[in-house]
Structure 1
């Protein structure tokens, strides 16, 4: 190589590395900005949720406003959003394609979720957080006039930040937004931005008093062939439970929309159904997030085997008629109560079974095994690792191609190394 060629090669490498350094610097700044803004928004949402749930628990009569709440939510979405809303599916579709993700979705889902929980709808909060974070991330990308590709990364950053702030699991949050889009591939180009946004948002949430929920597992039996078989069988049950839950959500919504065209009548019918079911049960155990019931699964409370089925029914009725909030916390409720109930029946530590059930159900409905493992580690610690690993693997396998999010793509088969590129069922 002569002197001229050497200089050209050197300048090319300097120019290339300079552009790379500027890209890293730019994304670091953008990720911090998203982490701060989404972290503040999600923290305000989380603290508001605490207040709203406390008000409802102190005033049980608020459940009689369930039909009214559904009508109000339907009205504000029709008047303000003015486009079809498919919940978290809207955010996933915006990353997969060039579908529009309006910024006004963020305040709308904030208000609608608070109304849902104020009147006692059975829903979560992390699904709402994903929509808020995605809408804010996309809005910032539009303000900065970023390319469509970079805006998709901004959406994933916003999703990670909101999930981390609310759920208190920054590792899982950073990976989840990349993993949930397409099953079988990971959007690694967004890894560093998502990690930064997730950590910054979690710091913001912790600073303002939105702590992470930690669930104690006091008894962890030695991992043996016998305990492994028990967990494998339970994970298979969880896989089928996730299929049942997703099928109930999708089919009942299709049924209701097919039978009732007017969205306001559908809201009244759905709200009344949740109210009647609550009165028939005789308490409000299955309304709202049910976080206190999840915690009771780890403190020795007796959990009936029918609890997980009732939560499925309550959540299906709630989310099919216009209420907002998401399915993730109900999924954790279902997994925890199913695990605690079966653990009590077979003499296996109920707290450990509840933890395994939460991880297995989360994996089954989201098709995100890596995120599911990380959530287990962050919520319950690393000691039960073999149990979590087996449960997540078997649940992922058994759950097939069903899932919460119909916009989610299954790129590679779960059973062999085949490219299939299909949407979840």
Structure 2
């Protein structure tokens, strides 16, 4: 009888702990997602606003070196130079280190400056860093312990990612999957999805709708088309290795030869300004129009993906801020639209497959990539997307946009390796 009472008492304690945790994390996630949604809406508006200004005044691209000096000054004066990027957030989830709150306004302003003056960058780098700052700040306010702080960081990341991309399920899984390849932090599932959905709802209140495309040229499901799509996956894997390798090496050489941050950003900005003078403004900024054209019309110049890669590598490598994922969308979509017609597929469908396959290859997040394909393009053709991204995932090796990412399990066999991404 005493044993039965002890068992009942023990079970009651456990049930109470689960209920408390459920409400605790739901509340934290709603607050985090609400703040993240409002901040994300403001950030999306700011990027759109400065992009419209730059589009109306293309000469602003020639002032990018001056913008780089301002960015370097912001990071120098806030003592964030050299180590405040997305890798800081990823490492903080594993190490339980604190994320400086000053990073939030600095990355916000720096990304806006980069886009105002025509740097080739995205916005998700800022989203992950802003989200990490919000999660860390709220975690400190409510006095979370060191074991709970990583969940708060992932909660913030998913909220901001959802707010900027309008893909709450992708944001949820991406935040849990991107930290350590081969391990998904399931304890963060509830907080991340609540934060992502809350942020998504807040952006909808501001009138910001998610990006979605309707694919009409989906091929028949047969072995020939599956093998053809696998070829696009192979191309994406090769392209991802080239992109990640050149991005990392460009940054290393830029730091080595131009130790002064002001000089480094000025040199990189000058290079982009000269390329813009020679080529035009097609590869400055996010390049959303080119992505949309590739997906909806199947049109892309055969060298689009190469030049966008060059512009992005210089921009990010020399210290400008923003992110690499939207440029990855551009590169993957342009590559897919270019090679798909050569393989007997429509350029539009090839662009969609190339976008997803390259995204998967550079972030090593296959589950998030599958969900992204559904949220962007619907469930039709899902098998083709899955084939392309699983091929690109395996063949891309251990390269990543984020050197802070850990490869916990081998891509070739069920073996624990705990290896730093390249």
TM range (shorter): over 0.9
* 2:51 is the counterpart of 1:68: no
CA RMSD across the alignment: 1.1
Stretch deviating more after TM superposition (74-83 or 136-145): 74-83
Where does residue 238 of structure 2 map in the other structure? 240
Question: Cα 1:361–1:370, aligned 2, differ >3 Å: closer, same or farther?
Answer: same
State the distance in 2 between where 1:309 and 1:215 align.
Answer: 24
The SS at the match of 2:345 is coil
Assess if the C-alpha contact under 8 Å between 2:37 and 2:200 holds in 1.
yes
Where does residue 191 of structure 2 map in the other structure? 193
Where does residue 180 of structure 1 map in the other structure? 178
- 1:260-409 alignment runs, 5 A limit: 260-281=258-279, 283-300=280-297, 302-409=299-406
Assess if the C-alpha contact under 8 Å between 1:339 and 1:357 holds in 2.
yes
Question: Once the two structures are superposed, what CA deviation does each residue of 1:130-166 show, in whole Å capped at 9, x if it has no partner?
Answer: 1100111101111111111211100000000000011
* 2:115 is the counterpart of 1:102: no
* 2:162 is the counterpart of 1:164: yes
State the distance in 1 between where 2:214 and 2:352 align.
Answer: 9
Report how far residue 301 of structure 1 moved.
Answer: 5.5
Where does residue 14 of structure 2 map in the other structure? 16
Q: 2:36 aligns with which of 30, 35, 38?
A: 38
Assess if the C-alpha contact under 8 Å between 1:35 and 1:201 holds in 2.
yes
Report how far residue 408 of structure 1 moved.
Answer: 0.3
* 2:53 is the counterpart of 1:47: no
Question: Cα 1:383–1:153, aligned 2, differ >3 Å: closer, same or farther?
Answer: same
Gaps of 5+ in 1: none
The SS at the match of 2:419 is strand
Question: Cα 1:82–1:9, aligned 2, differ >3 Å: closer, same or farther?
Answer: same
* 2:5 is the counterpart of 1:7: yes
Give the structure-2-normalised TM-score. Answer: 0.98
State the distance in 1 between where 2:208 and 2:320 align.
Answer: 24
Report how far residue 218 of structure 1 moved.
Answer: 1.4
State the distance in 2 between where 1:63 and 1:349 align.
Answer: 34
State the distance in 2 between where 1:30 and 1:46 align.
Answer: 23
Stretch deviating more after TM superposition (292-301 or 151-160): 292-301
The SS at the match of 1:149 is coil
Question: Cα 1:6–1:302, aligned 2, differ >3 Å: closer, same or farther?
Answer: closer
Assess if the C-alpha contact under 8 Å between 1:39 and 1:204 holds in 2.
yes
State the distance in 1 between where 2:343 and 2:357 align.
Answer: 19
The SS at the match of 1:209 is coil
Report how far residue 211 of structure 1 moved.
Answer: 1.1
Report how far residue 81 of structure 1 moved.
Answer: 3.8
State the distance in 2 between where 1:412 and 1:284 align.
Answer: 42
Report how far residue 381 of structure 1 moved.
Answer: 0.4
